[in-house]
Amino acid sequence: DEYLGHATEIDVDAASDGEEVLVGAIMEHLEEAGIHSGDSTCFIPAQNIPEAMLERIAEQTKTIGLGLKIQGCFNIQFAIQGDDLYVLEVNPRSSRTVPFVAKASGLPLARIAARITIGQPLREQNIPRRTSGQVCVKAPVFPFIKLRGLDPAPGPEMKSTGEVYGSDERADLAYLKARLATEVPVATEGGAYLTVRDEDKENLVPVAQELVAIGFTLYATEGTADALRRHDVPVTTVYRIAEGKHPDALDLMRQGKVSFIVNVPTVSGGAVRDGNMMRRLAVELNIPFVTTMRGASMEVAAMRAHIEEDLQPRKLTVHY
């Protein structure tokens, strides 16, 4: 499978009656394009997309829905790369995200689409007003502990078997609530093991600095550690697993010195095997790990929020 590099993926759920289109929600994926949408973490509303691009997405959704003469629910997956907007796929059916959209936006798309299919157009329906003032997050739940030998790194093939939901006025708190619901812990202290591709080393620096600021001890492989030291980030160098020397990541994990892992996988060389072994052990020891830089940034923001904030439950508010 090939995909657009460093592109932001967008999901849109909508309903059409052949004459009008109702856009339910525009969802921003936390992970880059190339990871299956079912395994992605999604935000409503989008957090990092300019308003002009959101308008383009809504307009293209309406154009496609009407052009394909869809009557009922449909889902479109877009990718944004720079100023370019790409269509990855159009699904003329309800999507797994429709229940998430209903809770987050207050629009019961399944009910609206069902009425369309029995002959009631959008203009004759009483469409509830949208909810506002909250950020909603959908996070995937994975069965890796039950599937021995499967590499937990997400990719173009779907691996999740469920999803959870969190909402709050702040994005970091909404994400934290969703993450905690997955039952994989959110680290608040200890050590962080960092190893990323060469192209991501500079982007790792602010993540590493934030980890140090909230009290974490950093460990990294040689190349990653060198990049961090150039920015005066304190870090301890450890051996790669493939080198057969100690201590390596597996040693640190078994000794309880690592409570969080950032491992952006490479596609060739010994680091592939290293990453697979490390991620498998992380699953077995219930150590949280992320495999994208965007995921790392969001996870560290949630870690700080978990340390500093008291989470408050929110009432689900919809008008239908």
Kindly report the three-state secondary structure assignment for every residue of 215-250.
Answer: CCEEEECHHHHHHHHCCCCCCEECECHHHCCCCEHH
Burial of residue 198 (CB within 10 Å: 0-12, 13-18, 19+) is exposed
Query: Minimum mean pLDDT among 35-39, 132-136, 172-176, 224-228: which range?
Result: 35-39
Q: Which domains, ranges and CATH numbers included, belong to the chain?
A: 8-139 (3.30.470.20), 187-287 (3.40.50.1380)
pLDDT band of residue 271 (cuts 50, 70, 90) is: low
d(C-alpha 155, C-alpha 151), whole Å = 10
Separation in Å, CA 138 to CA 40, 100, 153, 165, 219: 8, 7, 18, 5, 30
Residue 269: the pLDDT is 47
pLDDT > 60? residue 270:
no
Q: Locate tokens 């994400």: which residue?
A: 175
pLDDT given at position 255 = 96
- Please give the pLDDT value at position 317: 83
Reported as a pLDDT band with limits 50, 70 and 90, residue 267 is: low
pTM equals 0.92
pLDDT-derived band of residue 77, with 50, 70 and 90 as boundaries? very high
Decide which of 82 and 272 is more confident: 82
Distances (CA, A) of 123 to 120, 268, 293: 8, 55, 44
Q: How many CB atoms lie within 10 A of CB 100?
A: 22
Rounded to the nearest integer, the mean pLDDT of the chain is 92
Among the residue ranges 18-22, 37-41, 106-110, 209-213, the one predicted with the least confidence is: 37-41
Question: What is the model's pLDDT at position 34?
Answer: 79
Q: Is the pLDDT of residue 1 over 50?
A: no
Closest CA to 38 of 157, 210, 191: 157
> Minimum mean pLDDT among 30-44, 80-94, 239-253, 257-271: which range?
257-271
Please give the pLDDT value at position 100: 95
Instruction: Specify the pLDDT at position 272.
Output: 63
Q: Two tokens at 148?
A: 């021995």
Over residues 179-204, the mean pLDDT reads 95
Task: Answer for the pair 21, 14: CB distance below 8 angstroms, yes or no.
Answer: yes
Residue 312 has pLDDT above 60, yes or no: yes
Question: Is the bond preceding 206 in cis, omega lying within 30 degrees of 0?
Answer: no
Per the CB < 8 A criterion, the answer to whether 47 and 171 are in contact is yes
pLDDT at 318 over 70: yes
Q: Work out the pLDDT band at 268, boundaries 50, 70, 90.
A: very low
pLDDT at 207: 98
> Is pLDDT at 138 greater than 70 in this prediction?
yes
Local confidence band at 149 (pLDDT 50, 70, 90 cut-offs): low
Distance of alpha carbon 93 from alpha carbon 223, whole angstroms? 47
- b/e map of 30-67 (b: 16 or more CB within 10 Å)? bbbbbbbbbbbbbbbbbeebeeebbebbeeebbebbee
| 216-245 per-residue burial string, b: 16 or more CB within 10 A, e: under 16 | bbbbbbebbbebbeeeebebeebebbeeee
Phi, psi angles (nearest 5°) of residue 263 = -135, 100
The residues that bridge with 135 in the sheet, in sequence order, are 168
